[in-house]
Amino acid sequence: MAAFGWIDEQAELRRRAGLVRTLKPRPADSPLLDLASNDYLGLARHPEVTEGAARAARTWGGGSTGSRLVTGTTELHGELERELAGFCGFEAALVFSSGYAANLAAVTALAPHGSLIVSDSGNHASLIDGCRLARGTTQVVAHADPDAVRKALHTHDGPAVAVSDTVFSVDGDAAPLAELAAACREHGAGLVVDDAHGLGVLGDGGRGAPQASGLAGAEDVVVTLTLSKSLGSQGGAVLGPARVIGHLVNAARTFIFDTGLAPAAAGAALAALRLLRREPERAARARAVADELYTRLTAVGLTAVRPDAAVVSVRAPSPEGAVRWAADCRAAGLAVGCFRPPSVPDGVSRLRLTARADLSGEQLERAVRVIGETRP
């Protein structure tokens, strides 16, 4: 058999299961109504954000030129880190080239040999990969279940962390953060939470889920972020006590061996963060749009998960049904996300809709009409 012949067999199995993925290029001026992107606050194309990117590239160059510990740290990186930490209420921050890299960093660096990682079964792939790479032992526990976390921690003597998304990316449901923190505190364990879908949407003016749960600045809580959703840019960050951030600089391989965040991405994120400070109502608007979308979907008889943030998940009958449904929406001028195995661990396929803060009532009405009319 040829060197990569086995790939054809896998591809055939995938085709038969209706699970083949293909790339669909998005034109710059797409006529589609977008409920598929993670641009929750509609900032990715805001003139201040794109100008922030352009100005940073003109000042600092197209790339950061090296790892952060060599030439890749600019004044812009420091400025973004100070403002991110300040906005979310944590002592210090460190930015990464992606949220994925930030999660790998936080989990691996905070779970040394002999430690226990307690991981929610619904966690994002990047947290799961962090657990796989870490030297500590991972125990996966039931979804959003503080008692399961408590029990797992009880079995272990030594350093421990619990890791969880704050808002789960598939169904848009929120983790019980305050209860998780309490369970961790009983056992002297740390809590690492991924606020990719909470920043900009939850908390006062979008300060994130940890702030909404009274955990901002807690010395036993570490938050990971992406700059690619509400902030309309690209990149990631870890926020927490200065002790933890200093440790990451010295121990996190995706920080040490990765080229620093591109200046344009840092400039765009900083501009978006300043916009969010100035226009805090954007966060509440995203939440209101999510509620309205959910109400309208259930009113036409669709099964959706009540949203805790800006993600609205709609049940599909099968993986093939979900793919066809998303394609029919697209043909009718609406872009929606389509989640199916293996991206969803429970095997339940869904359409995933983003309640962007800048969607009008008329657009929401059109979106729900199309989704209702194309249902499989």
Question: Which residues bind to ligand PMP, rule: CB under 6 A?
Answer: 98-100, 103, 124, 126, 165, 169, 194, 196-197, 226, 228, 236
CB nearer to ligand PMP: pick between 102 and 152: 102
Q: How many angstroms separate the CA atoms of 24 and 115, rounded?
A: 42
| DSSP string computed for 279-299 | -THHHHHHHHHHHHHHHHHHH
CB of 376 to ligand PMP, least distance (A): 26
CA 81 from chain centre, in angstroms, equals 18
Question: Least distance from C-beta 162 to ligand PMP, angstroms?
Answer: 16
Please, what is the minimum distance in Å from the beta carbon of residue 12 to ligand PMP?
28
* Least separation in angstroms between CB 321 and ligand PMP: 24
| C-alpha span between 267 and 60 (Å, rounded) | 10
Q: 228 vs 313, which CB is nearer to ligand PMP?
A: 228
Coil vs helix vs strand at 366: helix
If the CB atoms of residues 233 and 374 are measured against ligand PMP, the closer one turns out to be 233
Nearer to ligand PMP, 26 or 154 (CB): 26
In the bound complex, what is the minimum distance in angstroms from residue 5's beta carbon to ligand PMP?
Answer: 32
Position of minimal CB gap to ligand PMP? 99
User: Contact, 206 vs 84, CB < 8 A?
Assistant: no
Contacts of 56-60 spanning 24+ positions with Cβ under 8 A: 56/263, 56/264, 56/266, 56/267, 56/268, 56/270, 57/263, 57/264, 57/267, 59/263, 60/263, 60/267
As to burial, measured by CB atoms within 10 angstroms (0-12 exposed, 13-18 middle, 19+ buried), residue 267 is buried
Name the residue nearer to ligand PMP (CB basis): 120 or 145: 120
Of the candidates 351, 204, 176, which has an alpha carbon nearest to the alpha carbon of residue 287?
204
User: At its nearest, how many Å lie between ligand PMP and the CB of residue 268?
Assistant: 13
Q: Residue 267 belongs to what H/E stretch?
A: helix 263-278
Closer residue to ligand PMP in complex, CB, 198/368: 198
Locus of tokens 């056992």: 187
